[in-house]
Structure 1
Amino acid sequence: MDDYTLPFWIYLGVLTVFIGGAMKKILASHLSSAPPLVAWLGATVLVERLWALCLPAVLLALLGLACCLYSATRTGTSPATLPAHSKAVLITGCDSGFGNATAKRLDALGFEVFATVLDLSGDGARELQRTCSPRLTLLQVDITQPQQVQQALLDTKAKLGLKGLWGLVNNAGVCVNFGDAELSLMSNYRGCMEVNFFGTLNITKSFLPLLRQAKGRIVTISSPAGDQPFPCLAAYGASKAALNLFINTLRHELEPWGVRVSTILPSSYKTGQSSNHTYWEQQHKHLLQSLPPALLEDYGEDYLTERPWSCSRATPARPTPTSAPLSLPRRHRPGAAVATAAGALRCQRGPGVGLMYFIHSYCPFSISNRFLQKLFVKKKLLPLALRRQSGFDLNLSLHNNNNNNNNNNNEEKLK
């Protein structure tokens, strides 16, 4: 052991930390059979390095097996559910999707649910009235309208009395458009920020006194697009990035008050708006009418027509809006994050999300960047200006080759 130099010990320490972190990330990703396989490969490399120090490899192997068994045991157990009696939860965006399913789930568990909807006469609101108990209260709230948020606060206070609000589920959100950052209108950026960030900020700040009073919890449905640069989602991703930072800051600040703050980062699911083809057609027509002529000339109308659907096709077809949250692991659904005594502060859940975060965290940027492009964008057309440039370069190359051939023929004739 005296023969080993300082660089070797530094290398061994870095390798140990890296493999340990990688194993922890992979085992928490729930990627079917892949995590144990990769984890054991990493453990094998670590054992190989430690074997040179004459450490008992058998003990290390047993330790790895114990860790895997412990992880499997934890995955199979369901967390304890809190008693729902006298606990009230406010959920935003309950017209469809995650919010609608979460309202049903928490109502079935016995919580007093305040469900906000954009339209009290809409299908989602009528379904909640039909299927849920009298404990559920519907509130018509557009979270971008301060007056409506304040009215919801007054209505909630009047019904709760002195007991406070146990939970807030920030579910309401919007993706205004798919498209390149340069092609996204400023109204798209402002629309996403207004709902996803400022709207959520407004309703969270408004209801915080009630949450602090009850030492409750906040669960926010965000997106991996707020952590990673998804092509075609600049407006949506920027708003979710701002939301993630706000929620992470709030988590530290509310800890002394006993308020628990969690974030759920789900995979791609079909919710009400994402499967509304009429909406996307209208957005596309509005984009064509609003772009400057020079910009439209550079990209080409065929590129704009092909682009939104190539991006949306890359989002896999997940369950229908009403069942989408139920396809998440039971202990990582929005309702479970409210109803259970303990849970992760940041849950990355859904098919492929764990792998995506692992690549983003541990692989070189070039690999992570290529992974996102191949996964999310199915490119078939280049912008028109680039196609013209490619054609010009090709013609220029052919012209130069012809000139070179003519020059060679002339030289041969002179000889």
Structure 2
Amino acid sequence: MMDDYTLPFWIYLCVLTVFVGGAMKMILASHLSTASTLVAWLGATVLVERLWAFCLPAMLLLVLLGLTCCFYNATRSAPLPTTLPAHGKAVFITGCDSGFGNATAKRLDAMGFEVFATVLDLSGDGARELQRTCSPRLTLLQVDITQPQQIQQALLDTRTKLGLKGLWGLVNNAGRCVNIGDAELSLMSNFRGCMEVNFFGTLSVTKCFLPLLRQAKGRIVTISSPAGDHPFPCLAAYGASKAALNLFINTLRHELEPWGVQVSIILPSAFKTGHPSNYAYWEQQHKQLLQNLSPALLEDYGEDYVTETKDLFHSHASQANPDLSPVVDAIIHALLAPQPQARYFAGPGVGLMYFIQTYCPFSVSNRFLQKMFMKKKLTPYALRKQSGFNLNLSLHNNNNNNNGEKLM
């Protein structure tokens, strides 16, 4: 019976096997619940049974997939390879005033790293907390990564303290998100501000510290965002800056491989960090937006539409996960694993999001993004007005038609 199958059939079979294996790997890595995983397994089994009806019985296929799952889980749950020692290794972290940077600086210091932590304000709460809780090994540096002179000074200070030793790790954490509306409503200053911090600032820091990293054959770990790979509504400025950052980091990974420098990117889900969790922050951004919008544009969209967007952003930020440990754990693994991953999904839902984008039709992934993030109830005022006008016109025409029928 095996002779009845042609070469194209076996090629097709191999391609399908790779597809199903990759899909199941993504499912298992997507932090799904047991019930959701079971449904995904059953769905995949039914699909493959239909396609492979002439090759493998469904039960045998299920057994093979089960064995693959057991093997993958055993591999995933097995102890990680012996990590590299933290003692004697120096790490430079940007954006340590709060959030991921602050938490990472404290954890790395406790592990024995020599930490260089940058903050925007040396007298701020975040800087004082690091001084109070960390060891004398930690060095605080006041750096705005959009200012090249401050980056150069930080490089000189770091090089002076390291002496002949290179820099083991660079954690690009500093970032900015000031988007609170549709792309047409977003101020140009928001687009430029996001690009200056998230892309150009990170680019400047990375280029400046690369000689020290190449010397130590060290690691570059960059905190990015799924918004750089997915077109989230109302995040055009932030997403565009992260998309540029993602491409730069992925290119850098290939270029630095001959130098022995490992490059990783962290893609977190929604976490409660910094100003975005503060209601006053969103009120300030909302007020600034209304003051700078042209009257015509504000009339087309409606102030209630803009206000709803602001409220949705604040609600999304307030419901974010306050436990930052998934991101910190991913950073530590990227710094100390003998073979770090190129990409880390940190937090629940991120793996599922990338799975849907990779394996589902565009219409499904597009609808998923719209329903998952900004669940808007209002449409722009001009569209509502137009819809109401069309409705009135339709009713008027129906009344005229009815009157005409009565006259006849």
Normalization by structure 2: what TM-score?
0.93
Q: 1:76 offset after TM fit, Å?
A: 2.5
Q: What aligned pairs does 1:182-201 form with structure 2 within 5 A after superposition?
A: 182-201=184-203
CA-CA distance at 1:309 after TM superposition: 1.5
- Match for residue 342 of structure 1 among 339, 342, 351: 339
CA distance in 2, matches of 1:143, 1:78: 38
Choose from 139, 163, 172 the match for 1:137. Answer: 139
Runs (5+) with no aligned partner, structure 2: none
Contact 1:93 1:118 in 2 (8 A): yes
List per-residue Cα deviations over 1:141-193 (Å, max 9, x = no partner): 00000000000000000000011100000000010122100000100000000
Post-superposition offset of 1:13 = 4.6
The residue aligned with 1:221 is 223
Q: Tell me the secondary structure at the aligned position of residue 343 of structure 1.
A: coil
- SS of equivalent to 1:74: helix
Q: Report the Cα distance in structure 2 between the residues aligned to 1:278 and 1:58, rounded to whole angstroms.
A: 58
1:41 CA drift (Å): 4.0
Query: Deviation per CA, 1:359-395, whole angstroms, max 9, x where unpaired?
Result: 1111111111111111111212111111110110011
Match of 2:324 in 1: 325
Q: Secondary structure at the match of 1:82?
A: coil
Residues 197, 240 of structure 1: 8 Å contact kept: yes
Task: Give, as a single letter, the amino acid of the residue that structure 2 aligns with 1:334.
Answer: I
Q: Distance in 1 between matches of 2:39 and 2:384?
A: 44
Query: Is 1:102 aligned with 2:104?
Result: yes
* Shift, 1:401, TM fit: 0.5
Question: In the TM superposition, what are the counterparts of 1:2-401 in structure 2 within 5 Å?
Answer: 12-33=13-34, 34-35=36-37, 37-39=39-41, 41-43=43-45, 45-46=47-48, 49-50=51-52, 52-53=54-55, 60-79=61-80, 80-314=82-316, 317-320=319-322, 324-328=323-327, 332-401=329-398
Structure 1 contact 90–167 (Cα < 8 Å) conserved: yes
The one-letter amino acid paired with 2:337 is: T
**Structure 1: how far apart are the matches of 2:244 and 2:238?**
10
* Between 167-176 and 23-32, the greater mean CA deviation after superposition: 23-32
Given that residues 229 and 237 in structure 1 are in contact (C-alpha distance below 8 angstroms), is that contact kept between their aligned partners in structure 2?
Answer: yes
Could you tell which deviates more after superposition, 190-199 or 278-287?
Answer: 278-287
After superposing the two structures, state which structure 1 stretch, 243-252 or 82-91, moved more.
82-91
* CA contact 1:319–1:327 (8 Å) conserved in 2: no
Do the aligned partners of 2:89 and 2:113 also contact (CA within 8 Å) in 1? yes
Q: 1:266 touches 1:348 (CA, 8 Å); kept in 2?
A: yes
Q: Report the number of matched residues.
A: 405
Contact 1:185 / 1:287 at 8 angstroms: preserved in 2? yes
- Write the letter of the residue equivalent to 1:116: T
Q: CA RMSD in A?
A: 2.1
SS in structure 1 at match of 2:118? strand
Larger mean CA deviation between 216-225 and 292-301 belongs to: 292-301
Give the C-alpha shift of residue 59 in structure 1: 6.3
Identity of aligned residues (%): 71
**Is the CA contact 1:226–1:240 (under 8 Å) kept in the aligned structure 2?**
yes
